Structure formats: C-alpha cells, structure tokens
C-alpha cells in the first residue's frame, strides 16, 4: 500500500512567515452561527471557551422557527448549542453561506434535540451539502445530540447547507461552523472527506478545540485499558507539519502496556463500501537513552501500511493516506508493531479517520443559479421549495421549474420556468435572458407591466412563451414573431401586435369562399393561422386554453431516422392503439417526453412523395385542441409519424365507464365538446385551404394529461384516403370516415366538406348526451339519430340523457346541446351550422351549466364545507360519486 510520510524540512524563515500570517488570519473566514439565537439576545457574542465570535443565523436563512433546549439540560452544552432552529414546514430548508470558490473548508454542523419542544420526539432527517446528500442525522438513539464535519471545496462562492425531511420528524440544527483551511492538506483522489473520528490518545476526558487547534478541528479523547499513557511537559513543535496537529494532542501518547504487543485501533462500519483516509500523528515525547530505539511498522487490516517509522523527537509528523483504503466487511484494524531492533513499544499521539463522500451529480449551472436567485429576489418569490440548488436533487427541484437532465457530470440547465399566477409585479426580469436553454416560459396571470423585452425573441431555445393576462404594454417585438416560437400574449389590453397599435380585428372566413378557393390553391400555399376573436363575454366559462397561439407556424418538429424510432419505442414494445393505417406504439423522447408513434403499414400510404407533402402540411397545423405532430420518419419503406402522447385515452373510453374515474359529469362533457369543436373550427377556418378532418368520432377525441380534449387522426385522412391530387381538393378516392359518423350526403356526392365534419361532430355530441352506441342493429332505431328522434317524441329529456349522469345537469343546457347536435346531424348539409356557430353555442351552454354548479356549490358549502373539493372547473374529472 502506498502511503506517505510528511516530514517538512522547511527553512526556518519560511516557517516564521507562515506562522505570522496564520496568527493574523486565525479568524479570517471563520463563520460561526448560533442557530436559533433570538434577535433580542446579544448577537454577536464571544463564545466563552474558544473566544470565537458567534452570530445569530437569522440573516443566513429565512425559514424555520427558533427554539431552546430544556432548561435543565442547558448546563450540558456550551452556549451555541442551547438554542436551535427547527423546520416544521417544507421538505428542504437551506442555509446560504458566503465562501470562496475553490478554497478548502472545514464544515461542521451540530445538532442538539434536548427536548426543545417538550414532545420527546427525537428527530431523524438528512443533511445535504448543496444538492449532495451528506449524511443522515439520527438523534433517535440514547444520545440526542450529534456533530458532523467535512472537508469540502465549494464549487461556487456560496455554500448551501440543507436540512431535508426524510420522515415525519422535524429537522433541527444548533450550530454551523465554517473554517477555511490550507489548500494542500487533506487531499483526496476524488470526493470530500467526512469525519469518522478525530482523537488524541489521552485519559483526560477532555476535548481540544480552537485556539489550541488553529483550524478549530475538534479532538476528542480516546484511551484503552491495554494502553499506558505517556506525556511530556516539554514543548512539542508542531509547525514542521502542514497538518499542524495541536500541541496539546502531541504532548500525550499511548503505548501498549504489554511492550511486545502491537498498539491496535479497531472499528467497524455498517457501510462496508466506505473508503477511508487515515491521518496518524506522531511525536517522540520521551527522553530516550542513547541505547534506546523506538521504531515500528504500521499495518492496515493486516497488510503493511507504512514503516519502519521512528517518531521525531519533540516534533510532530503526520502519516497519511494518499488514496482511499477499504476494510473487508466493514471491519477495520490499524496496528503499530515494533520492529526487531526497537527497544521500546510503538507510540501513537493522535489519529483522524475520514470516509470519502463522492458528489457525482453536478450542481445546476452556476450562471443559472445566479439568474434564478435574481428572479427570486426581483419578484420577492417566497415559495418554500425555492431553496438550495434549483434542479438537483431532482426530487427537490424547485416547483415551477424543469431542468435538462443529462448525465450526472453535466451541470443541469433550466428548460422550463412557470411563474404563472405568482403575483409578479414590475417588468419582465432581465435575468431571464441568462437562462439560455429555456424552452418554455410562462408568466401568465400576473401583474407584469412595461414592455415585452426584445431579448425574449433572441433566446434561441425558447419555443413557448405565455405572457397572457398581465398588464404589459407597447408592441410585441418583431423578434418574438419568429418561426418556431409560440407566443400567448392575450389578455394584455395595452399590448399591440405587429408594431401597429390596433388590435387585430377578427377576420371572418366565410366557409363558402374558403371552399371555393380551396380547389385553386395548391398545397404549396397551405398555411394555418391563429384564430383571433373578440374575448368571449361570459364571466363563467373556463375553457382550458381556448386561445390559440399568435404564431402557430412551428418548425421545431423533427425528422427522425428509423433507429431513433426503434429506440424511442423501446423496440416497439408497448402497443397503445391500432388503426387502419398501422399500429400505434408508446414511445419516450428525450428521456421524459412521452410520444405516440404511428408506424404506417405499407399498404396505407401512397408513397414517399405524398407522405412528405402530408408531413409538411401537418407541420404547420398547430392548435391546443389538436394532437400535434412531434416529428416523422421516412427512411426507406419505414414511415412513421410521431405525435404527442395523450395519457388519458379517448372520450369513448371515458363515456363507456372504463376510465379510472368512470363518470364524466355534464359540465366536463360540455367542456370537452367545446374544446373538440375549437380544434375542428381551427382546421376549417384557421387553415387555407380548409382542412377537413374526415373522421371525427369519439375515439378520435383524446384527452391529454390535464384532460383537455385534443382531436386526433386528422393526419392520415389526407394521405391515405383522399389526398388531393392536382389541386382537386376534397375529392375522395377511397371510402372515408367511419360508419355511423359519415355524412349521408357523401354517398350521393362523394364529396367531403367541412359540413361533413359538422355532421360527424353532431353524432359525437349525441353520443356524449346519450351514451348510446352510434349504430346498434339490435335497437329498433339502429342509428343514434333515429333513436334520439324517436325518444324525442315523448318530450322527456331524461329518457334521452345518459343515465350515468344521474340527472345532474341543467336541463336547459341539455336541451340546447341536444338541439345543436340534431342540427349538426341534419341530413342536409346546408342546414348544418358552421363549427364557429357550434363553438359559440357550446360556450353559452357551458357557461350556463357552470353558473348552475357554482350556485349549487355555494349552497353546499354552507352545509358541509369539508366535502366541496369537487374540482369541477379545473379540468379534472371528479371521482365517481
Ligand atoms: C408552517 O406550518 C404551520 C403549521 O403546520 C402552518 O400553520 C403555517 O402556515 C406554515 N407556514 C408556511 C409559511 O407554510
Ligand atoms: C447566497 O449568498 C450569496 C452571497 O452571500 C448570494 O450572492 C446568493 O445569491 C445567495 N444564494 C441564495 C440561494 O440565497
Ligand atoms: C486552492 O487551490 C485551488 C485549486 O487548486 C485554487 O483555485 C485556489 O485559489 C486555492 N486557494 C487558496 C486559498 O490558495
Ligand atoms: C483488532 O482486529 C484484529 C484483526 O481483525 C484482531 O486480530 C485484533 O484482535 C483486534 N483487536 C482488538 C483490540 O479488538
Ligand atoms: C541501556 O543503558 C542503560 C544505562 O545507560 C542500561 O541500564 C540498560 O540496561 C541498557 N539497555 C539495553 C537494552 O542495553
Ligand atoms: C517493517 O517494514 C519493513 C519494510 O516493509 C520490513 O522490511 C520489516 O520486515 C518490517 N518489520 C516488521 C517487524 O514487521
Ligand atoms: C448574465 O450573466 C452574465 C455573466 O455571465 C452577467 O454578467 C450578467 O449581469 C447577467 N445578466 C443578468 C441580467 O443577470
Ligand atoms: C393585480 O393587482 C391588482 C391590484 O393590485 C389585484 O387586485 C389583482 O388581483 C392582481 N392580479 C393578479 C393576476 O395578480
Ligand atoms: C375559472 O378558473 C379559475 C382558475 O383556474 C377559477 O379561479 C375561476 O373560479 C373559474 N371560473 C369559473 C366560472 O369557474
Ligand atoms: C436507446 O438509446 C439509449 C442511448 O443512446 C440507450 O441507452 C438505450 O439502451 C437505447 N434503447 C434501446 C431500446 O435501444
């Protein structure tokens, strides 16, 4: 084993200088915090035994409450350890200490429970150094106090020490002490050194601390029966040794009483993987006769470790490990054995043992930490989770953030920042621009004022900005209207678009004109625009994001190679759906983005060229109520489309009662209907030429993680069934649609128009109202429209409504939706409303249903306040009642 003996033979002059500098600098950089010291008590104060100046921790942490150990136990501890700070709230609470990056520090934390709360519940919790787990503090044993210490080199100018709950008990801390030490001591191959024990071999039952130890290392006494104590009253020089063990520790030593036995120090560790670093300190402190020799070898777990060693007379030396040593099965044994020529037994004055802690996970990029800190300060954000490192550890990530989780050794970067509804005031913080890998920025629903800053447009990775519902003014910078950037500026009354300070007027697109235009416009001119309409005048409508983005032309969709498709689907392992055009697989993109991968069967496509045209077209379709395309693959015969994954299945599934929360109430059905209608409306009038979905049905209305409705499958319709050839749009070449939903006019004209979608949508509405099968041959009136017409004769809406609703709906809105559904499903296309009209009608129905629910909720609240968490309007499905 390699080890190293450190005997410094420095020139005396150098020594004197070092000594002088250290003497001057003894306090420099020391941080001594008496945690929980109340403001009214004297702070700072000089601690009685060490003379070190302790201050209250109040300016280093904003959280926690202060406490004091039980009075009858105060005499057991010196003053800094009698008060404490405890943290009933928050999972992680952090101290922020100012240190010098790259410098080596001793970091010590002390914990005394002392039944401060009178509950006798001793705590157990974790201690973190920044994002790194340091150790578990367990005060649940016999002794309810403890101390941990580490040598650590901070990687930035601030050091975060965090207490993290790991169970039900309340973390606490009594004192925090930070001492800079010289750089070239206690070095490791990698990692930091966590103190296991530091002892001087003495019977006296005392401790050595500052000022005896200039670095304020704490040395505890250790002695065994089989040892003999030796000591000297003479001076022992410790300054030849960079480790400068305190003189008080060197003036005493132990030798084995049986002079032929080795001197043994054994310990066991529960963690068998520990790597140990040993620092053994020696000085000959006996006046040896000329014919006497003291010489010994050191063994570590039976193997030669260092030697032979003759301790220098009245001069300290340190033998230390240069690399970590392990112990078999956690059983460690250090032995000092006299050599054959030694006339005296071995001796040991002091010993330090450390274990290595590795910090493999990188801290968040330092610049971004500073930016986040600035943002936090600028807006006075006081979220309890906003402490410590923003991104790591992942389970303690600040809320409202998401970070790139690449490999452990790369500092994470912030990719997502959501500060919506956070009560922000003032202007958009300039620090945001330093989050250079930010992709999503949500500042909606605050009170932000001032201009929309230019820099947002220059942040290359941004693809989504929501600044809606603030009080921003001025005009939107040109840079923000770039491709691939989705911007939601709605709800800022003083904000102007495109430099012109006039609010854009909604442009009606008469369907007839669009339809006739369609056949003349080639696909090269295909584009979709956002629909802008005056704000809907109803106080009680909550549609999940009904406003489409201003810029909907996305370019961040990607072409994938086939091997990437194989990889993202984990070799096509999980089938999530199957359609006429191929099988849909579950996939994962960039570790955490779920996607649905539709692998097109060979027969379903019309060749590469059309597929490509189709994809190009789809790339420009983007709406919050459509399942969006993430990318595609066209490598040889392998054609695949990659969509956003919709984790909550389709509407049919939920109506059938097979969903987790089996019953969708009437309000939620209306919201879903409205959202689907908005998606369809966008295809019809937001795109030029209009897109006809061609297969609107309940199984194509998918629900995203927020249960927001998204129309699916408007993709393959064109490619596979009636891809417009030579400008002959809307002419179907194959049978389209799904029986039952298909526009009856189609059979006569072979033409599918927007109104065909309206018909299908009417059928969807009927299904949502009645929960009847669309076609049921066993029913006398086999088609759902016939069945409804028949039931309508009775004039009783209850016989028509889905019995699962249990009568819990506003019959007025039910009638209105039923009328709407029937007019959509009118056999004559000219009598059907447009999707825009459907949207308006559904909004009003939803508003009336919501106001009914709010009234009822108000009534219920007065009776049973505890039971009213119905989540009606938040987009969540209620639990079956
Ligand atoms: C902290 O917890 C207490 C008790 O649980 C609660 O009353 C208090 O509001 C919490 N404070 C914060 C800031 O969360
Ligand atoms: C920590 O303190 C330093 C300086 O004392 C400051 O610059 C930094 O922003 C603080 N960090 C946090 C997370 O409070
Ligand atoms: C300690 O060493 C590191 C790197 O070796 C260096 O960056 C730093 O400045 C040194 N600090 C002192 C106080 O010498
Ligand atoms: C220490 O450990 C060694 C080797 O495991 C063993 O031989 C010795 O008896 C132990 N000594 C004591 C005092 O436990
Ligand atoms: C060493 O010398 C002393 C006298 O100076 C004598 O008493 C002792 O026996 C000698 N010891 C050995 C081991 O020779
Ligand atoms: C002490 O170590 C030296 C160097 O490895 C070795 O030659 C010698 O035999 C050892 N002596 C004893 C008594 O173990
Ligand atoms: C962004 O970071 C740079 C350092 O990289 C710094 O100089 C600048 O002040 C920061 N800007 C803001 C607005 O925080
Ligand atoms: C904006 O500020 C006003 C008055 O200060 C307040 O009433 C309103 O709730 C705030 N709005 C938001 C979204 O925080
Ligand atoms: C709409 O949603 C917001 C929050 O999402 C809620 O505060 C408000 O009460 C809702 N309005 C209605 C009418 O349900
Ligand atoms: C996908 O790629 C990643 C990294 O490139 C690899 O770790 C993983 O094993 C791959 N998965 C499959 C199913 O090939």
Could you tell me which of 713, 690, 685, 819 has the C-alpha nearest to residue 762? 819
Which ligand is nearest to the Cα of residue 420, counting in written order? 8
Does residue 787 sit within a domain?
yes
Query: Quick one: average pLDDT of 432-460?
Result: 92
Name the strand (E) or helix (H) holding 848.
helix 835-863
Confidence of residue 356 (pLDDT cuts 50, 70, 90): very high
Query: Which residue's entry shows tokens 């942490």?
Result: 61
Q: Is 628 in the pocket of ligand 10 (CB under 6 A)?
A: no
Dist. CA 122 → ligand 10 center (Å)? 46
Does residue 531 share a domain with residue 461?
A: no
Helices and strands per DSSP (H, E), number in the chain: 16, 45
Mean pLDDT of the chain: 80
What is the Cα–Cα distance from 209 to 845, expressed in whole angstroms?
77
Ligand 7, pocket-test mutation among 375, 434, 435, 437, most atoms within 8 A of CB: 434
What is the Cα–Cα distance from 353 to 337, expressed in whole angstroms?
19
| CA dihedral angle for residue 81, residue 85, residue 88, residue 92, rounded to 10 degrees | -100
The residue that leads in pLDDT, 221 or 25, is 221
Q: Is 445 in the pocket of ligand 8 (CB under 6 A)?
A: yes
What is the Cα–Cα distance from 358 to 191, expressed in whole angstroms?
4
Least confidently predicted of 5-19, 184-198, 566-580, 615-629: 5-19
- Answer for the pair 775, 740: CB distance below 8 angstroms, yes or no: yes
Which ligand is nearest to the Cα of residue 587, counting in written order? 10
Does residue 721 share a domain with residue 572?
A: no
Query: Quick one: average pLDDT of 55-80?
Result: 90
Does residue 829 share a domain with residue 732?
A: yes
Q: CA distances (Å), 288 to each of 67, 157, 316, 344, 780, in order?
A: 55, 51, 16, 9, 117
C-alpha count within 13 angstroms, C-beta hemisphere, residue 485: 21
What is the Cα–Cα distance from 313 to 309, expressed in whole angstroms?
12
Least confidently predicted of 159-173, 350-364, 482-496: 482-496
- Answer for the pair 345, 297: CB distance below 8 angstroms, yes or no: no
Protein residue closest via CA to atom 12 of ligand 4: 266
Does residue 237 share a domain with residue 97?
A: yes
Does residue 486 share a domain with residue 624?
A: no
Least confidently predicted of 239-243, 287-291, 538-542, 794-798: 538-542
Give the distance, in angstroms, between the CA of residue 64 and the centroid of all CA atoms in the same chain: 23
Least confidently predicted of 2-6, 195-199, 488-492, 799-803: 2-6
Task: Show the beta-strand stretches assigned E in 71-187.
Answer: 83-86, 92-98, 104-112, 124-129, 132-138, 145-152, 158-165, 172-173, 175-181
Could you tell me which of 761, 768, 759 has the C-alpha nearest to residue 668? 768
Dist. CA 347 → ligand 5 center (Å)? 20
Residue 602 pLDDT more than 80? Answer: no
Q: Which ligand 6 atom is nearest residue 307's CA? A: 2
Does residue 374 sit within a domain?
no
Protein residue closest via CA to atom 11 of ligand 7: 431
Does residue 507 sit within a domain?
no
Does residue 655 share a domain with residue 638?
A: no
Query: Quick one: average pLDDT of 334-344?
Result: 95
- Answer for the pair 97, 178: CB distance below 8 angstroms, yes or no: yes
Dist. CA 536 → ligand 9 center (Å)? 15
Q: Which ligand 9 atom is nearest residue 542's CA? A: 1
What is the Cα–Cα distance from 87 to 387, expressed in whole angstroms?
13
The pLDDT value recorded for residue 47 is 86
Q: Is 458 in the pocket of ligand 10 (CB under 6 A)?
A: no
- Our CA angle for 592, 598, 604, nearest 5°, is 170
Residue 543 pLDDT more than 50? Answer: no
Structure token digits, residue 192: 């930091």
Pairing verdict, β 192-201 and 207-208: unpaired
Number of folded domains in the chain? 4
CATH of the domain at 197: 2.60.120.430
The pLDDT value recorded for residue 487 is 84
Could you tell me which of 830, 833, 836 has the C-alpha nearest to residue 745? 830
Ligand 10, pocket-test mutation among 561, 563, 567, most atoms within 8 A of CB: 567
Does residue 119 share a domain with residue 68?
A: yes
Residue 239 pLDDT more than 90? Answer: no
Domain boundary among 591, 614, 645: 645
What is the Cα–Cα distance from 550 to 36, expressed in whole angstroms?
52
Q: Is 540 in the pocket of ligand 9 (CB under 6 A)?
A: yes
| Residue set of the binding site for ATP | 598
Q: Please say whether the dihedral angle defined by the alpha carbons of residues 778, 781, 783 and 785, taken in this order, is positive or negative.
A: negative
The pLDDT value recorded for residue 720 is 35
Give the contacts of 794 (CB within 8 A, at least 6 positions apart).
none
CATH of the domain at 555: 3.30.200.20
Protein residue closest via CA to atom 14 of ligand 1: 89
Pairing verdict, β 629-635 and 558-559: parallel
Does residue 238 share a domain with residue 273?
A: yes
Per the annotation, the verdict on 451 as an active-site residue is no
- Answer for the pair 699, 651: CB distance below 8 angstroms, yes or no: yes
Does residue 137 share a domain with residue 8?
A: yes
Least confidently predicted of 146-150, 397-401, 440-444, 657-661: 657-661
- Residue 12: Cβ within 10 Å count: 8
What is the Cα–Cα distance from 822 to 766, expressed in whole angstroms?
8
What is the Cα–Cα distance from 485 to 644, expressed in whole angstroms?
18
In our burial notation (b when 16+ CB lie closer than 10 A, e otherwise), range 799-820 reads ebbbeebeeebbeebbebbbeb
- Answer for the pair 297, 335: CB distance below 8 angstroms, yes or no: no
Residue 157 pLDDT more than 70? Answer: yes
C-alpha count within 13 angstroms, C-beta hemisphere, residue 307: 21
Q: 707: helix, coil or strand? A: coil
Does residue 473 share a domain with residue 596?
A: no
Ligand 1, pocket-test mutation among 85, 88, 117, 381, most atoms within 8 A of CB: 88
Does residue 600 sit within a domain?
yes
What interhelical angle do 811-824 and 835-863 show, nearest 10? 160
Structure token digits, residue 533: 């309409």
Structure token digits, residue 134: 């340091």
Does residue 382 sit within a domain?
no
Of the candidates 117, 695, 704, 873, the residue annotated as catalytic is 695
What is the Cα–Cα distance from 163 to 90, expressed in whole angstroms?
10
What is the Cα–Cα distance from 688 to 326, expressed in whole angstroms?
72
Structure token digits, residue 278: 């040993």
- Answer for the pair 313, 378: CB distance below 8 angstroms, yes or no: no
Domain boundary among 620, 645, 670: 645
Q: Is 449 in the pocket of ligand 4 (CB under 6 A)?
A: no
Q: CA distances (Å), 233 to each of 24, 236, 290, 314, 727, in order?
A: 27, 9, 21, 11, 106
Dist. CA 324 → ligand 2 center (Å)? 33
Least confidently predicted of 218-227, 393-402, 726-735: 726-735
| Residue set of the binding site | 598
Query: Partners of 353 in the beta sheet?
Result: 197, 278
Q: Which of 41-55, 461-475, 606-620, 848-862 has the highest mean pLDDT?
A: 461-475
The pLDDT value recorded for residue 599 is 84
DSSP notation for 608-661: HHHHHHHHHHHHT---TTBPPEEEEEEETTEEEEEEE--TT-BHHHHHTT-SSS
Q: Is 478 in the pocket of ligand 5 (CB under 6 A)?
A: no
Does residue 13 sit within a domain?
yes
Task: Show the beta-strand stretches assigned E in 705-753.
Answer: 709-711
Confidence of residue 610 (pLDDT cuts 50, 70, 90): low
What is the Cα–Cα distance from 164 to 167, expressed in whole angstroms?
9
Does residue 370 sit within a domain?
no
Does residue 816 share a domain with residue 722?
A: yes
With 0-12 / 13-18 / 19 or more C-beta atoms within 10 angstroms meaning exposed / middle / buried, residue 179 is buried
Does residue 436 share a domain with residue 347?
A: no
End-to-end CA distance of the chain: 71
Pairing verdict, β 276-282 and 227-231: unpaired
Which structural domain, as residue segments, surrounds residue 538?
A: 525-645
**Omega into 308 within 30° of 0, i.e. cis?**
yes
| Ligand 6 site residues, Cβ closer than 6 angstroms | 297, 304, 307-308, 337, 339-340
Residue 817 pLDDT more than 80? Answer: yes
Q: Is 183 in the pocket of ligand 3 (CB under 6 A)?
A: yes
Query: Which residue's entry shows tokens 């914990």?
Result: 111
CATH of the domain at 712: 1.10.510.10
Query: Quick one: average pLDDT of 286-302?
Result: 93
Does residue 368 sit within a domain?
no
Protein residue closest via CA to atom 8 of ligand 10: 567
DSSP notation for 436-505: TT--EEE--SSEE-SB--THHHH-TT--EEE--SS--EEE--GGGG-TT-EEE--S-TEEEBTTB-SPPP
pLDDT in tens, 832-877: 999 988 998 999 888 888 888 777 665 444 333 222 222 222 222 2
Ligand 9, pocket-test mutation among 674, 873, 874, most atoms within 8 A of CB: 873
Domain boundary among 629, 645, 661: 645
Least confidently predicted of 97-111, 383-397, 499-513, 799-813: 499-513
Question: What helix, strand, coil percent values describe the chain, rounded to 5?
Answer: 25, 25, 50
Q: Is 88 in the pocket of ligand 1 (CB under 6 A)?
A: yes
């Amino acid at each position: 084993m390699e080890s190293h003996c450190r005997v410094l033979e420095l020139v005396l002059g150098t020594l004197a200088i070092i000594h002088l500098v250290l003497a001057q600098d003894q306090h420099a950089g020391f941080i001594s915090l008496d945690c929980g010291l109340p403001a009214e008590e004297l702070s700072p104060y000089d601690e009685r035994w060490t003379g070190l100046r302790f201050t209250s921790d109040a300016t280093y942490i904003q959280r926690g409450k202060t406490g004091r150990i039980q009075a009858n136990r105060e005499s057991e501890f010196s003053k800094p350890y009698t008060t404490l700070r405890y943290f009933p709230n928050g999972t992680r609470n952090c101290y922020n200490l100012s240190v010098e990056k790259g410098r080596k520090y001793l970091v010590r934390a002390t914990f005394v429970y002392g039944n401060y709360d009178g509950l006798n519940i001793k705590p157990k919790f974790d201690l973190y150094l920044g994002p790194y787990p340091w150790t578990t503090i367990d005060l649940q044993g016999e002794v309810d106090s403890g101390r941990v210490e580490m040598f650590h080199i901070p990687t930035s100018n601030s050091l975060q020490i965090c207490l993290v709950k790991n169970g039900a008990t309340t973390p606490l801390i009594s004192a925090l002490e930070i001492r800079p030490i010289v750089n070239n001591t206690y070095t490791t191959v990698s990692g930091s050194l966590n103190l296991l024990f530091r002892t001087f071999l003495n019977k006296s039952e005392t401790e050595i601390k500052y000022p005896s130890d200039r670095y304020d290392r704490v040395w505890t006494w250790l002695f065994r029966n089989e040892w003999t104590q030796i000591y000297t009253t003479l001076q022992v020089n410790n300054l030849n040794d960079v480790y400068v063990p305190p003189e008080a520790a060197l003036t005493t030593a132990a030798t084995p009483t049986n002079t032929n036995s080795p001197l043994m120090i054994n310990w066991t560790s529960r963690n068998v993987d520990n790597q140990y670093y040993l620092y053994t300190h020696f000085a000959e402190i006996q006046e040896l006769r000329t014919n006497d020799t003291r010489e010994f070898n050191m063994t570590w777990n039976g193997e030669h470790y260092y030697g032979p060693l003759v301790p220098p007379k009245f001069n300290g030396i340190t033998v230390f490990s240069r690399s970590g040593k392990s112990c078999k099965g956690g059983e460690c044994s250090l032995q000092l054995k006299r050599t054959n020529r030694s006339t005296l037994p071995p001796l040991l004055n002091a010993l330090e043992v450390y274990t290595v802690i590795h910090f493999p996970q990188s801290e968040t990029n330092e610049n971004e930490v500073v930016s986040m800190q600035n943002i936090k300060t600028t807006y006075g954000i006081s979220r309890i989770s906003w402490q410590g490192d923003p991104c790591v550890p992942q389970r303690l990530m600040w809320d409202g953030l998401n970070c790139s989780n690449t490999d452990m050794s790369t500092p994470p970067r912030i990719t997502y920042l959501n500060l919506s509804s956070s009560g922000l005031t003032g202007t958009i913080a300039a620090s945001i621009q330093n989050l250079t890998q930010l992709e999503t920025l949500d500042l909606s629903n605050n009170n932000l004022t001032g201009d929309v800053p230019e820099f947002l447009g220059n942040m290359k990775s941004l693809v989504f900005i929501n600044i809606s519902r603030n009080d921003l003014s001025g005009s939107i910078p040109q840079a923000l209207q770039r491709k691939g950037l989705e911007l939601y500026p709605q709800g800022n009354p003083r904000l102007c678009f495109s430099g012109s300070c006039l609010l854009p007027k909604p442009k009606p697109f008469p369907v007839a004109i669009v339809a006739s235009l369609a056949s003349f416009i080639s696909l090269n001119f295909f584009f979709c625009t956002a629909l802008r309409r005056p704000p809907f005048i109803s106080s009680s409508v909550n549609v999940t994001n009904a406003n489409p983005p201003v810029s909907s032309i996305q370019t961040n969709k990607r072409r994938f190679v086939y091997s990437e498709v194989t990889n993202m689907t984990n070799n096509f392992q999980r089938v999530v759906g199957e359609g006429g055009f191929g099988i849909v697989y579950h996939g994962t993109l960039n570790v955490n983005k779920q996607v649905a991968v539709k692998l097109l069967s060979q027969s379903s496509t019309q060749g590469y060229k059309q597929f490509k045209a189709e994809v190009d077209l789809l790339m420009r379709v983007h709406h919050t109520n459509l399942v969006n395309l993430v990318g595609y693959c066209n490598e040889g015969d392998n054609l695949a489309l990659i969509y956003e994954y919709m984790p909550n299945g389709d509407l049919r599934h939920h109506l059938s009662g097979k969903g987790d929360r089996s019953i969708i109430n009437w309000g939620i059905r209306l919201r879903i209907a409205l959202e689907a209608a908005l998606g369809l409306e966008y295809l019809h009038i937001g795109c030029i030429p209009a897109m006809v979905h061609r297969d609107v049905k309940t199984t194509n209305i998918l629900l995203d993680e927020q249960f927001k409705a998204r129309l699916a499958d408007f993709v393959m319709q064109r490619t596979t069934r009636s891809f417009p050839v030579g400008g002959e749009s809307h002419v179907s070449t194959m049978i389209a649609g799904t029986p039952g939903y298909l526009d009856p006019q189609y059979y006569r004209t072979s033409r599918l128009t927007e109104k065909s979608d309206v018909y299908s949508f009417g059928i969807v509405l009927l299904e949502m109202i009645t929960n009847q099968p669309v076609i049921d041959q066993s029913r006398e009136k086999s088609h759902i429209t016939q069945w409804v017409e028949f039931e309508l004769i009775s004039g009783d809406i209850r016989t028509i409504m889905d019995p699962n609703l249990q009568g819990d709906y506003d019959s007025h809105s039910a009638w209105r939706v039923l009328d709407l559904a029937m007019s959509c499903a009118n056999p004559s296309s000219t009598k059907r409303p447009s999707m825009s009209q459907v949207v308006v009608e559904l909004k009003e129905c939803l508003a009336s249903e919501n106001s009914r629910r709010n009234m009822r909720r108000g009534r219920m609240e007065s009776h049973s306040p505890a039971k009213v968490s119905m989540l009606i309007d938040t987009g969540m499905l209620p639990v079956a009642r």
